[in-house]
Amino acid sequence: MRTVSPFVLPLWLGIACATPVEVPTDTFDAAPPVLRRLTQSQVEHAVRDLFGADVYVPADLDAALRVDGLEAIGTARIAVSPRGVERYEAAAFAVARQALDATHRAAIVPCSPAAADDAGCAAQVIRTVGRRVWRRPLTDAEVDGLVAVAVAAGRAYADADEGLVYGVAGLLQSPWFLMRPEPGADDPAVPGARVYDGYALASRLSFFLWDTIPDDALLDAAARGDLSTDDGVDAQVVRMVADPRAHDGLRAWAADLMQLSNLKDVRKDTTVYPTWTDDLAASAGEQVLRSFEDQVFTLDADLGGLLTSRRLAVDPGLARAYGVAAPVREGFGVVRLPDDSERVGLLGQLGFLALHAHAASSSATLRGRFVREALLCETIDPPPPGVNTTIPEPSPDAPTLRDRVAAHLDNPSCAGCHARMDPLGLALEQFDGAGAFRTEEGGATIDVRGTLDDVDFVGASGLADAVRAHPAFVPCLVEQVTRYALGRPLTDADRPALAALVTAFEAHGRRLQPLWMDLAQSPLFRRVGEVE
Amino acid sequence: MRTIDRRTLLRGLFGGAAVSVALPPLACLLDSHGTAWADGTAFPRRFLQWTWGDGVVPARWVPSTTGAGADWVLSDALAPLVDHKARLAVLSGLEVKAPDKAVPHWSGFMPLLTGEPLQGVDDDFTPVAPTLDQRVATEIAGTTPFRSLELGALDDTPVSYNGTYSPNPPERDPVALYDRLFGPTFRDPADADAPLDPSLALRQSLLDVVGGHVTDLQRSLGADDRARLDQHLTGLRDLELRLARLAEGPADLAACRRPSAPADATGLTDPFARHAALVDVLSLALACDLTRVATMCFLPPVNPYQFPGTPDAHHQLTHSEAGEQPLVHATTVRTMEAFATFLDALAAVPEGDGSVLDHALVLATTDCAHGQVHAYTDWPVLLAGGADGALRTDRHVRSAGGNASAVALTVMHALGLRAPSFGSGDLRVTAPVTDVLG
């Protein structure tokens, strides 16, 4: 029996290895492959890597879908819509034209076309660029099909570069670029078992860790067969985590987990929240991402610190919103809030507080629901049919939200779910619907006592500590990373391997970088079932 | 010059035709005056869908009397439509017989338009069949370059679907819509003799190659993923077909011309202004017969727009306003004001002896009946336009407890699609609302 020991960590991390938790691979029931579509940011990063950071990609290529809390899972459900076909085609030409302009052309055209319809040079460009774009070598037939159009275009416009525009645009609008097929191959070491083939694994690693296509070094490793061995995978993962592109990978996961794509749709009643602007919303999202970068790269610390840290990146707009002095006149700088500040961690940031609130009021329910679902991996059902969800208007008898939502907890058909959400959100009531700090509502002092599964606490700082100490929190973090990396919900068959990752995550101080490495080596990431 | 419809051939290939077509012939010529089709039949019928979010206040919506002409009067909510009363039919009393309300603003809305229960829960849901606009487009798009248009005056929430997890996201930027319709690929009837841009043919060739990639990729996939890529393939073929039709140039219709570009709408947050700008472009697209099917999502389900003079975003307001909900009602009146401007724009495009509105069927509806409690009974439904005489208007028809799937069947029949039924299970109906059919 071969066992994968996914927790052999590189020495450069300076970690004493935990006892490896071994998952027997010959009994591991691998899930079938999923077919994901590239996200907007993956397309943008790929174009940057292929042609240059200044090459512009049109926004809103095709709609995303959030499934089970993650757009990463939605990418395996959606296809390219008819409207998407149109947008991808337009984007492919827009990008290809920039790639062939005077500034960028030399990077992808190694030959000098002998004529406007020079097929040889076109083939060379398509083959070379295509290997990066499609994350695998092209077949001769694939090259020939695109060259034929490129030659026809070159001839029609009497311009070889115009032909290359068509060739590159063809590569970019192809499903071989836009979708992520991940073929399997027999595992040479375990008869009957299957693993992702080298190129598929290269793509899995690069989209997971870098949010972009593999570089040449990773594709070369796949071509050599290096990615079929633990050591070969390890060498690449170590390199990749140390690469600046790992920041993109982290930010993509953090944005997905924190649902930051919804921030652009947040509209506040400006008579109630006059300081709320689209710019502030964008800054709030960036702040959340910087908190993750701080925890994972600057500090390389326990991810639980995301909830309890008082280190905060602010730009002048956020500094005003938080009532602190801006550390820099432009862009972001780090401040440290006082130890007795109630504004603590992710749950004290505008990117969470304003997103999970209404246009003119806060929402204990929405905030509590996010904590339950995203941070503790619980499921909350929607309200039953026909329920009148009216919350009473503020009145002298019911000045605070706690008074007004009391009915949620009195009515048994509501209380089942609301008792799990509202007491968490009510502890955050010192932050209004736009995230500003307050101690009173309607002339009454806000009561911020809360309860999380029999643990009593007070206020936002108490909630942060309670969530961090909750037994479901750490496993949920591992689960959220894993679901994101795999692009699918987890099944019972995944549980033993997941439990192994949790054990290792604890042993490594709940730091994300070792978890990435462990997950990349896990059978969850490398083994694949048959196509269904 | 128009040629035989390639879509008919494609439909044959994919076996997609579920209803028979009793419409003007698809391969047709215009007469030399551009006043009617060459064989004397009427102008093409259009189907336009106009939706808003979060229902209505039923007590202020439903007209107090039924009947036609002077027998019925507009309700408070419908008062802004006074100039269009003669071309309006109000259907009331209908219920969407959905099996559940798991996603309150979608579990009734999508079944109304698809005839099938919504799949999924909460933040992971999808209709599993094409929405009415797409079913109709399959039959009436004819040789138009754009099978359908989807527009949104507030955001990009899709209300049009091709099927499972296949939304048609709306365009909300009037300038982008203009570029798409009247950009370089548009051939003004006045410049019909200008040389063809070779890009139209080259792009078709490239799409053909890409379609081959999709087919190659499908070979290695499971059934579900193959079906997902079928959608991609359909989209590629639609675009190829569009380019072929654009190369032919637009029909020589009297009101068709290349319009001037709309003003930059970046930062335009008022959905009324955005709606007006989008409708300007849409009405010209109809005048040029660039499309025959369009969906305008004026305001989306779970509508986050805050109407001036109200204390909260619309969705929140529908749930939080107590009593008889005068403020929610006022937002419905404002919404109907916008709908009146939509009808005004269609009526302003001359076509033959009448206007585009005379040749169009407009369905206006929302995502639930009484927004506060997500009621699915007494669903708000308006039909408007002439549909070439196929729709009997100036009437209020009440069918208490009737199956709301009859709305879709009525639309299809009014457009000449003789489907025997619409929907499945409890949602299935076999009879349209005959009182409004001519």
ipTM: 0.92
| Run of H or E residues at B383 | strand B381-384
* Helix, strand and coil percent figures for chain A, each rounded to 5: 50, 10, 40
Nearest-Cα distance to chain B for A275, in Å, is: 16
Mean pLDDT confidence for A334-342: 94
Interface check for B234 against chain A (CB to CB < 8 A): the answer is: yes
Instruction: Give CA–CA dist A296/B164, Å, rounded.
Output: 38
Interchain proximity B150–A359, CB inside 8 Å: no
> A126 with A143: CB under 8 angstroms?
yes
Confidence of residue A60 (pLDDT cuts 50, 70, 90): confident
**Set of chain B residues whose Cβ sits within 8 Å of the Cβ of A393:** 320, 322
What local confidence, expressed as pLDDT, does residue A269 receive? 81
Provide the 10 A C-beta neighbour count for residue A238: 18
What local confidence, expressed as pLDDT, does residue A100 receive? 97
Pick from B122, B158, B232: CB nearest A79: B232
Pick from A35, A152, A389: CB nearest B205: A152
Nearest-Cα distance to chain B for A384, in Å, is: 7
Interface check for B280 against chain A (CB to CB < 8 A): the answer is: no
**Token pair belonging to A257:** 């987990």
What local confidence, expressed as pLDDT, does residue A323 receive? 93
Nearest-Cα distance to chain B for A74, in Å, is: 8
Closest-approach residue (CA) in chain A for B305: A267
Nearest-Cα distance to chain B for A9, in Å, is: 35
Confidence of residue A23 (pLDDT cuts 50, 70, 90): low
Nearest-Cα distance to chain A for B313, in Å, is: 6
Angle between helices A512-521 and A198-210 (to 10 degrees): 160
Closest-approach residue (CA) in chain B for A169: B206
What local confidence, expressed as pLDDT, does residue B26 receive? 29
What local confidence, expressed as pLDDT, does residue B295 receive? 98
Chains A, B: CB contacts within 8 A come to: 171
Which of A11-15, A511-515, B307-311, B430-434 bottoms out in mean pLDDT, i.e. has the lowest?
A11-15
- Residue to mutate among B157, B202, B218, with most A CBs inside 10 A, is B202
Interchain proximity B210–A157, CB inside 8 Å: no
> B94 with A372: CB under 8 angstroms?
no
| Run of H or E residues at A312 | strand A311-314
Interchain proximity B306–A267, CB inside 8 Å: yes
pLDDT tens-digit map of A160-174: 999 999 999 999 999
What local confidence, expressed as pLDDT, does residue A360 receive? 85
| Run of H or E residues at B14 | helix B6-14
Instruction: Give CA–CA dist A243/A238, Å, rounded.
Output: 9
Interface check for B331 against chain A (CB to CB < 8 A): the answer is: no
* The 3-state secondary structure of A462-500, one letter per residue: HHHHHHHHCCCHHHHHHHHHHHHHHCCCCCHHHHHHHHH
Instruction: Give CA–CA dist B128/B61, Å, rounded.
Output: 31
Instruction: Give CA–CA dist A122/A163, Å, rounded.
Output: 8
Residue with tokens 């399997």: A184
Determine the 3-state secondary structure of B114 from DSSP: helix
pLDDT tens-digit map of A249-289: 999 999 999 999 999 888 888 888 999 999 999 999 999 99
Residue with tokens 């009808």: B343
List the 296-325 stretch of B: residues with Cβ below 8 A of A: 304-306, 311-313, 316, 319-322
Interface check for B375 against chain A (CB to CB < 8 A): the answer is: yes
Pick from B209, B304, B319: CB nearest A267: B304
Share of chain A above pLDDT 90, in %: 80
What local confidence, expressed as pLDDT, does residue A265 receive? 81
What local confidence, expressed as pLDDT, does residue A24 receive? 53
Interface check for B397 against chain A (CB to CB < 8 A): the answer is: no
Interchain proximity B238–A82, CB inside 8 Å: yes
> A524 with A23: CB under 8 angstroms?
no
Pick from A81, A145, A265: CB nearest B209: A145
Residues 6+ apart with CB under 8 A from B15: none
pLDDT tens-digit map of A293-328: 999 999 999 999 999 999 999 999 999 999 999 999
Interchain proximity A391–B320, CB inside 8 Å: yes
DSSP single-letter state for residue B261: P
Pick from B147, B156, B220: CB nearest A63: B156
Classify residue B23 by burial, with Cβ atoms within 10 Å: 0-12, 13-18, 19+: middle
- Residue to mutate among A73, A80, A432, with most B CBs inside 10 A, is A80
DSSP single-letter state for residue B152: E
Pick from B124, B169, B239: CB nearest A89: B239
Pick from A67, A175, A385: CB nearest B124: A67
**Set of chain A residues whose Cβ sits within 8 Å of the Cβ of B215:** none
Determine the 3-state secondary structure of B201 from DSSP: helix
| Run of H or E residues at A151 | helix A140-157
Instruction: Give CA–CA dist A108/B60, Å, rounded.
Output: 65
Interchain proximity A63–B167, CB inside 8 Å: yes
Confidence of residue A394 (pLDDT cuts 50, 70, 90): confident
pLDDT tens-digit map of B61-120: 999 999 999 999 999 999 999 999 999 999 999 999 999 888 899 999 999 999 999 998
Interchain proximity B220–A531, CB inside 8 Å: yes
What is the Rg, in whole angstroms, of the alpha carbon atoms belonging to chain B? 21
pLDDT at A443 over 80: yes
Domain boundaries, chain A: 36-180
pLDDT at A2 over 50: no
Nearest-Cα distance to chain B for A239, in Å, is: 31
Beta strand pairing status for B46-52 and B293-297? parallel
Interface check for B167 against chain A (CB to CB < 8 A): the answer is: yes
Q: Compute the Cα dihedral for A409, A413, A416, A422 and give only its sign.
A: negative
Interchain proximity A85–B150, CB inside 8 Å: no
Q: Minimal CA–CA distance to A85: which of B92, B123, B365, B229? A: B229
Nearest-Cα distance to chain A for B274, in Å, is: 16
**Set of chain A residues whose Cβ sits within 8 Å of the Cβ of B123:** 66-69
Q: Minimal CA–CA distance to B325: which of B38, B103, B76? A: B76
| pTM for this entry | 0.86
Instruction: Give CA–CA dist B362/B410, Å, rounded.
Output: 12
> B95 with B402: CB under 8 angstroms?
yes
What local confidence, expressed as pLDDT, does residue A8 receive? 35
| Run of H or E residues at A245 | helix A245-257
**Set of chain A residues whose Cβ sits within 8 Å of the Cβ of B10:** none
Nearest-Cα distance to chain B for A348, in Å, is: 24
Pick from B104, B158, B312: CB nearest A63: B158
Q: What is the pLDDT along chain B (438 residues), one digit of tens a residue?
A: 333 333 333 332 233 333 333 333 222 333 333 334 444 455 788 999 999 999 999 999 999 999 999 999 999 999 999 999 999 999 999 999 999 888 899 999 999 999 999 998 766 789 999 999 999 999 998 889 999 999 999 988 999 999 988 889 899 999 999 999 998 888 887 777 777 889 999 999 999 999 999 999 999 999 999 999 998 999 999 999 999 988 887 766 777 888 889 999 888 889 999 999 999 999 999 988 999 999 999 999 999 899 999 988 899 899 889 899 999 999 999 999 999 999 999 999 988 888 999 999 999 999 999 999 999 999 999 999 988 889 999 999 999 999 999 999 999 999 999 899 999 999 999 999 999 998
Query: H helices within A182-335, ranges in order?
Result: 198-210, 216-224, 230-242, 245-257, 278-293, 305-308, 316-322
What local confidence, expressed as pLDDT, does residue B122 receive? 65
Q: What are phi and psi of A450, to 5 degrees?
A: -145, 170
What local confidence, expressed as pLDDT, does residue A246 receive? 98
